[in-house]
Structure 1
Amino acid sequence: MAAWAAAALVVSLMAPQALAGPPDDAAATPPDPVPERIAGQGTAAPRLVTGLSDAAPGGSAADAARAYLAGERDRFHVAAGEKDLALLGTEGSTVRFQQRHHGIPVLGAHYLVHLKGKGGEREVTGAGGAYFTRLDAPAKATVTAKRSAALARTALKDPRQRAAAEVSDHGLVVLPGGAGGAGEKGRLARHHTVRAVTGGEAVAREVYVDARLGAVALQHESARQAETPAKATGTDVRGAKVTFDAAKQDDGTYRMSDLTRGARVDTYDAGGRDYGEFLGQMPDGMIPVPNKTAEYPASAGESGAVNAHVNSARVYDFYKSRLGRDGIDGKGGTLTSVVNVTANGRPFANAFWDGEKMVYGGGGDYYSFAAALDVTGHEMTHGVIERSANLIYMNQSGAINEAIADYFGNAMDVEAKGTPMSDPEAGLLAEDLCRTGTPKECALRDLNDGRNAMDDYIGATVGQDSGGVHLNSTIYSGALWDIREQLDPATADKLVYKALTEYMTPLDRFMDGRNAMVAAADAMGLPLEDIQKVTAAFDGHMIHRDWEHHLGIDSKTVLPNITSTFAAPSARDGRYVVSNSDATGEKLPSVYTGSTGGGEAKRLSPDDGRWHEFPATDGTYAAWMAIGERDGAQSYDVLTRRLDKGKPRNVFSSTTVQPQDIVADGRDVAFLGYDLTTGVSDVYLSRAGRPAKKVELAAGHQAWSVDLRDGTLVWTEYWKAEKGTVFVPTAYDVKRGKVTVRYPPKQTDGDRAPLAGYTKTAGDRILWTERAQAAGAKTAIRSGTLSGRPKVRDVIPADAPYAPVSTVFTATDRAVTYIDVKGGQEWANENLSKLFQVPFRGGEKPVRLSCNRGTQTAATGDEGKRVLWIDGTGGQTDLVTRRSPAGSCA
């Protein structure tokens, strides 16, 4: 059919009269049928199979496709295990796999499964591709990677190019039959990319070197449009004329690609698209900023593209010439920048490294964040850190990460400007970003701010700035900057780099970072007086042995190093539950239990690839939420189990209703269910491990803040009335299945009912918070009996001078503990949330539960006056406790 179409086209061009119809012999040729099966060449696996309608149910399309191939092994002859087939991705309704031989990718071997439908209705309509069933290539190379790279260089015939070539190593690959002289058994090779620029000409070749014989087996040109280095001009964000390196394409146009350095430098313009589109992989269709001529328009400067391009090259040059590093990855990998991003349609006044590239925003009072060399150096240094010590971006290791990024960004900036280290403004970071104002007013941080660990460490938790990575960075970077002031700057730069790349590890704390610097100084052979300057700098910022132990901590650590952002403990009768991740915070959270007095924690939740969070306990049983995926949608399950034995039982499962405020009371579990489709929040109750059901509320009523204890379920019920929303604390007898008492709100703000906050139950009472709707109103904590008699009692009156602003509290039958926040514009320990406690029946002035200076949050009452909470004081986030209040704090 294709041949006839081509012929008809020729006829129509040469003899218009032939448009009346095709020749008789062509008309007699039937069209090719849709193929049902096409055999593969040199393999038992078919090249193409169509016309299928086989059932293939499964959670995800990829899982369904893999399971189908495994079940049809006799038909397709494809080994579907993850070692044999690696998922490349899903495009539309097609799943694409990469064949692997002993875990090594096979060149060009992609096998595809075509699907339609979803979930239980999913079907396979066809499959096929390149899959080689007769491979028997060895899996171990005998030619070293270094020798292989040298052989790959010989693919360039021009001696000048060969001498200037940069060789990248992409690892081992199996060449199948027909590729590089490989027979049916295949051929083990190492894949290299060889690039060179000489005499204004750029070349790039993909070279495959036999990993056993040491000879070039296959080579071809890289799939890139021919381009040559060129000079281009433009203006920067302030309108100054700039000449920069670009790439001239074979069609005469230009792109913002620098080909003159060991690493390629590419700069892209997002055109105002949201930064979320550029997280990770670059969106399809993006090319480095193009232009028809070598003279770029003013818009390329206003967007920040020119500055990003020039500054990226400067950062590369600094690392290469001063520290001997070939780019971010140390291997000449491409340096990619994206400018001109926004956030939800608004200016994005920030910049970040996303693991692959630099992304810059700007707008409003700021130029593009790419305008400042210290910002560009900072972001690119994050990439260097990631590919060396990989300092985990959390707590003290995250603060060191930020500190080193600040240090090198500032070092590049002062070097480029010729600013002496003695200049008071030498330590300012990002002082060039503002359109108006002085450098001091504009700067985001100052490495000369003089902060020290003992006095100034801000006790943020992992939910606040990832444990204070920015808030505490200048404590460590201040010490590094002092070292640069005391030593020769070039020596200091090499020292910090050596410490980072050769002595630091991912979870280093401030003291580890100090020790790394001292060890690096010794390894460099620095004289004793210089090493003493290094130690003196850290002493000056009070980074010394056991500095965390001198912070005045008065709590006991129950579980150290909480890394789950949403960790909130629940405790009762001497036992607790809490969610936590691993030490790096990279694994999905799991639920753990232990004694409130401390000791080893035991994991309760299964290791099933789901996110296990928001647990609650009554001291014997626990319940929590598991977040996973079902039928292509996020799923929510509520699991429950005993603390000391048994397996989890699922009492609720949905993809549209999200559980909240989960609570446990024996085998009973209650929670709020927020319907994502309607926006309605209902109360759900599971009795004795049976499936949870809705507790029927009046029409138009909703609920929030659920608690459950000793057979009484409480919540705040609310509905819209004539004068606004009414909030009513409500108690419900689980056994009788009926509401026992409601407490109408106290009228404290004219005709408007007050806002209700959290609702709890303890002892024989229901407790809740109320706050008037007037601006600046304080919060009252109130309580009433579960029977409705006698009258409501104020645990803390709203008009008391110590009444809190927050509405978050916890209660036992002896004490009520609540969070209060002094507030303020600055991040300071005194402005962070603190815990206060009053007797259960009130009547006394609250006292501080703990004098810890950092964040105190997510409190839960255990028994008596004992409370557990999440605390950030000790240089990391910990689960801590006190048996009784500390009282007054000096």
Structure 2
Amino acid sequence: MALLGVTALVVSAVAAGTAAPAGAAVTTAPPGARAERPVSEHGTVSGRERTVGGDSDVLLAGTGTTGGDGAPGAGGGWWTASTAAEGGGQPYAVWAGRLDGTGEKQRISPDDGRHHVHPVTDGKTVVWSAYQGRWCYLLARPLDGGPVRQLDSSQGIGCAYNGLGVEGKTVTYTDVGYKSRSTRAVYLRMGEGDPVAIPPAAGGNPRTLSTSHPSLHDDKIAFNDCKYTGSTGTRCRITVLDIATGGRTVVADAGLPAPTAITSRYVYWLETEDPAAGSRALHRVNLDGSDPVVVSPATGRDAMIIDGLTASDDAVTVAARSADGTTGPETPAKLWQFSPDGTRRERVSCDGGGQFSPASAGGRQVVWIGTSDGSTDVLTRTRPVGTCD
């Protein structure tokens, strides 16, 4: 793939829609996974007790994956996740299933020796990244069957596709260049053309400029647009791109922002105010930049060290640890869900293990990776549990 510069708008070494081998056939469960029971209507697993907590539905047990590579996706009534090879090693494989626990799980990625990670879905298509040697691939496959499609590819140590999103034919991601060391938010329309890199608004050295962390909703993309200078450090703006019109709206200035999340009404993002403290503020603003709200502060009694962000029209959810000194780095993260205005803050689950990589499934339902008693599982709840006192 052509390296992404400031003025480069179209980047691709492989035309979108190029067919790849169809891959492995659908099977009923990932190798080595424990059996799970169907999801109940109450946010708990009917007939099955979890050893710690016990208040979450198990969608996929024994994945063997944690961290960014194991992050699940959710949308359109489906979940996606990566599972490790036997013994917890590479290569990872991408699986999908229904959020209500019914039906058979599907292996989406081919059994081809590549490392398949970062899957997302809108309930019709699964999009994910694959890595092998110095090559990076962006792949897609329909949930109702069909071949794996290669949407893009890149070569070089450190190349990466991450922060993926899919909605209909639109796919978004962050592309990390190799030689230029530049980072660009990118979108493409599957089957309708090459990937389009979103250029930074500022001019100058491409290595000091970046766009990144895109999030997608209704063909609008929220992303970070950043510039580094020796005198001011890194300064960023949170921007919304309307794909249909090409119009860009700057909705906020930000110092050191992290992921974004966009809904039909709001843009959310995390921002580090004091790198030494480690805590991050959760911000919200209207799509036109009006009515800014700090949903969760970076300082004070309620400050948190946040490592994950996802949102729907009804709620915004983070994976976080307390920043007040009562917990240390060894304390596992927990999921917290806020109302859009920040007036409601609740625990998603009281499970005693770690809770990582939340993915909104719409409404107040969240899918995440949970760890307890040596097991790593894909879990869900349709609503938060409230308090865990």
Q: Tell me which of 850, 858, 861 is aligned to 2:360.
A: 861
**RMSD over aligned Cα, in angstroms?**
2.5
Quote how far apart the aligned CAs of 1:586 are.
4.4
SS in 2 for 1:743: strand
Counterpart of 1:670?
A: 172
Task: Give the equivalent residue in structure 1 for 2:161.
Answer: 659
> Which has more radius of gyration?
1
Distance 2:117 2:180 in 1: 24
Counterpart AA for 2:293: R
Assess, with a 3 A threshold, how the Cα gap between structure 1 residues 691 and 887 changes in structure 2: closer, same or farther: same
Q: Post-superposition shift, 1:635?
A: 0.9
Q: Is the 8 A contact 2:90 2:115 kept in 1?
A: no
Q: Quick check: 1:559–1:598 contact (8 Å CA) kept in 2?
A: no
Q: What corresponds to 1:626 in structure 2?
A: 130
Query: Of residues 682, 695, 704 in structure 1, which corresponds to 2:184?
Result: 682
- Alignment pair present for 1:568 and 2:75: no
Residue identity opposite 2:83 in structure 1? N
- Following superposition, the deviation at residue 860 of structure 1 comes to 0.6
Q: Residue 816 of structure 1 aligns with which residue? A: 316
CA distance 1:705–1:802, shift in 2 (3 Å): same
Cα deviations by residue, 1:25-59 (Å, 9 ceiling, x for unpaired): xxxxxxxxxxxxxxxxxxxxxxxxxxxxxxxxxxx
2: CA distance between counterparts of 1:864 and 1:672? Answer: 26
Mark the CA change 1:587 to 1:724 in structure 2 (over 3 Å): closer, same or farther: closer
CA pair 826-780 structure 1, distance change in 2 beyond 3 A: closer
Q: Aligned runs of 1:130-169 on 2, under 5 Å?
A: none
Asked whether the 8 Å contact 1:561–1:583 carries over to 2, the reply is no
Matching residue of 2:286: 785
User: After the TM superposition, which residues 529-608 of structure 1 pair with which residues of structure 2 at under 5 Å, given as runs?
Assistant: 549-565=50-66, 566-586=69-89, 588-599=91-102, 600-608=104-112
With over 3 angstroms needed to count, the CA separation of the structure-2 counterparts of 1:825 and 1:843, relative to structure 1, is: closer
Q: Secondary structure at the match of 2:139?
A: strand
Q: CA deviation at 1:597?
A: 2.1
Alignment partners' CA distance in 2, 1:628 and 1:774:
34
Structure with greater contact order relative to length (CA < 8 Å, sep ≥ 6): 2
TM-score by length of 2: 0.78
Task: Report deviation, 1:720.
Answer: 1.6
Matched, 1:743 2:252: yes
Q: Distance between the aligned counterparts of 1:826 and 1:577, measured in 2?
A: 28
Residue 638 of structure 1 contacts residue 652 of structure 1 at CA under 8 Å; is this kept in 2? yes
SS in 1 for 2:200: coil
Equivalent-residue separation in structure 2 for 1:759 and 1:865 (angstroms): 18
Change (3 A) 1:723 1:591: same
Q: Which residue of 2 aligns with 1:694?
A: 197
Residues 671 and 774 from structure 1, CA distance in 2 versus in 1: closer, same or farther, beyond 3 angstroms?
A: closer
Post-superposition offset of 1:626:
1.5
Partner of 1:877: 376
Q: C-alpha displacement at 1:772, in angstroms?
A: 1.1
1:648 Cα deviation after fit: 1.9
Partner of 2:234: 725
Aligned partners of 1:639 and 1:652 also within 8 Å? yes
Q: 1:673-700: CA deviations, max 9, x gaps?
A: 1112222111222123333232222334
Report the CA distance between 1:652 and its aligned residue.
0.6
Partner of 1:714: 222
Compute the displacement of 1:731 (Å). 0.9
- The 1:783/1:824 distance shift into structure 2, 3 A limit, reads closer
Tell me, in whole angstroms, the C-alpha distance in 2 between the residues paired with 1:622 and 1:762: 20
> Helix, strand or coil for the counterpart of 1:636?
strand
1:805 corresponds to which of 293, 305, 313 = 305
Within a 5 Å distance, the mapping from 1:740-779 to structure 2 comes to 740-745=249-254, 754-773=255-274, 775-776=276-277, 778-779=279-280
Query: Is the 8 Å Cα contact of residues 812 and 840 (structure 1) preserved in structure 2?
Result: no
Tell whether the 8 Å contact from 1:614 to 1:662 is kept in structure 2 after alignment.
yes
Residues 761 and 811 in structure 1, CA contact (< 8 A), matched pair in contact too: yes
Question: For the structure 1 residues 792 and 554, does the alpha-carbon distance in structure 2 shift closer, same or farther, using more than 3 Å as the test?
Answer: same
Q: Does the CA-based 8 Å contact 2:199-2:211 persist in structure 1?
A: no
Alignment of 1:335-414 (within 5 A): none
The structural deviation recorded for 1:702 is: 0.1
1:797 Cα deviation after fit: 3.2
Alignment map for 1:151-300 (pairs within 5 Å): none
- The 8 Å contact of residues 167 and 217 in structure 2, kept in 1 or not, is answered as yes
The answer to whether the Cα contact below 8 Å between 1:594 and 1:601 also exists between their aligned partners in 2 is: yes
In structure 2, the gaps of 5 or more residues are 1-31, 35-47
CA distance in 2, matches of 1:597, 1:730: 35
Instruction: State the alpha-carbon separation in 2 of the partners of residues 797 and 564 from structure 1.
Output: 31
Deviation by residue 1:730-785 (Cα, 9 ceiling, x = unmatched): 1111122231333113xxxxxxxx32121111222111112213643642211112
Q: In 2 relative to 1, CA 775–587 (structure 1 residues): closer, same or farther, beyond 3 Å?
A: closer
Q: Distance in 2 between matches of 1:826 and 1:580?
A: 26
**What's 1:109 paired with?**
none
User: Would the aligned equivalents of 1:548 and 1:874 in 2 still touch at CA under 8 Å?
Assistant: no
For residue 372 of structure 2, give the secondary structure of its aligned residue in structure 1. coil
Question: What residue is the counterpart of 2:387 in the other structure?
Answer: 888
Please give the alpha-carbon distance, in whole angstroms, between the structure 2 residues aligned to 1:766 and 1:582: 37
Give the whole-Å Cα distance in 1 for the aligned partners of 2:376 and 2:57.
13
Q: Which residue of 2 aligns with 1:617?
A: 121
SS at match of 2:302: coil
Structure 2 vs 1, CA of residues 583 and 560 (structure 1 numbering), >3 Å: closer, same or farther? farther
* CA distance 1:778–1:612, change in 2 (3 Å): closer
Kept after mapping to 2: 8 A contact 1:755/1:773 = no
Q: Measure, in 2, the Cα distance between the counterparts of 1:648 and 1:550.
A: 38
C-alpha distance after superposition, 1:644-667 (max 9, x if no partner): 222222111110342121211211
Partner AA of 2:247 in structure 1: K
Residues 353-502 of structure 1: pairs in structure 2 closer than 5 A: none
Give the percent of matched residue pairs that are identical in Structure 1 and Structure 2.
28
CA deviations over 1:438-492 (Å, ceiling 9, x no partner): xxxxxxxxxxxxxxxxxxxxxxxxxxxxxxxxxxxxxxxxxxxxxxxxxxxxxxx
Q: Distance in 2 between matches of 1:805 and 1:704?
A: 21
Question: What is the distance in 1 between the residues matched to 2:89 and 2:143?
Answer: 26
What's 1:456 paired with?
none
State the SS of the aligned residue for 1:758. strand
Q: What amino acid is the match of 1:606?
A: P
1:96-111 correspondence to structure 2 within 5 Å: none
What letter matches 1:832 in structure 2?
Answer: P
Shift of 1:817: 0.8
| Whole-angstrom distance in 2 between the partners of 1:551 and 1:672 | 36
Of Structure 1 and Structure 2, the greater strand share is in: 2
Structure 1 residues 761, 842: CA separation in 2 closer, same or farther (over 3 Å shift)? same
Distance change >3 Å, CA 586–CA 756, structure 1 → 2: closer
The Cα of 1:794 is off from its aligned counterpart by 2.0
State the secondary structure of the residue aligned to 2:152.
strand
| Counterpart-to-counterpart distance in 2, 1:860 and 1:811 | 8
For 1:776, give the aligned amino acid: A
Q: Determine which of 341, 351, 354 is the counterpart of 1:841.
A: 341
Change (3 A) 1:613 1:807: closer
Change (3 A) 1:720 1:667: same
Q: Aligned to 1:608, what secondary structure does the other structure show?
A: coil
Determine if contact 2:251/2:287 at 8 Å carries over to the other structure.
no
